[in-house]
């Protein structure tokens, strides 16, 4: 499961039965900073809505086929989500926390 950017479309004149009506997209995988990471590849669009230059979520391997209406088709990657927003702020910022230590003292 990885972020990718849609960089193009692929048009196929012939497809395996079960892939009729499914879009093929050329995607560029991204690293954790959303910078290009590796070679681009083709993924089927299980959302049927992804477009050029969109940030998408891609799954690979056997699970990619499960995202399509007809299971067990020969695909290696599938777009399963379109990313609207990424909140990559740290969950915890030690510099902004005012630490207080509570010590129980005996009277």
Instruction: List pLDDT tens digits, range 73-104.
Output: 999 999 999 999 888 776 666 666 555 555 66
Distance CA 65, CA 85 (A): 26
Return the pLDDT at 94: 63
pTM reported for the whole predicted model: 0.79
Which CATH number applies to 2-96?
2.40.50.220
Phi, psi dihedrals of residue 95, rounded to the nearest 5°: -70, -25
Which residues are CB-contacts of 68 (< 8 A; sequence separation ≥ 6)?
18, 19, 22, 44, 46, 75, 78
Q: Average pLDDT, whole number, for the chain?
A: 87
Question: Domain ranges in the chain?
Answer: 2-96
32 pLDDT tier (thresholds 50, 70, 90):
confident
């Amino acid at each position: 499961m990885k972020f990718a950017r849609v960089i193009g479309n692929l048009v196929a004149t012939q497809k395996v039965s079960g892939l009729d009506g499914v879009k093929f997209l050329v995607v560029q995988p991204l690293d954790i900073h959303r910078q290009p990471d590796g070679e681009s590849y083709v993924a089927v669009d299980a959302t049927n809505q992804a477009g050029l230059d969109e940030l998408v979520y891609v799954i690979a391997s056997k699970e990619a086929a499960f995202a399509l209406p007809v299971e067990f088709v020969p695909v290696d990657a599938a777009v399963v989500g379109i990313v609207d927003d990424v909140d990559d702020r740290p969950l915890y910022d030690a510099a902004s926390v005012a630490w207080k230590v509570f010590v129980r003292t005996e009277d």
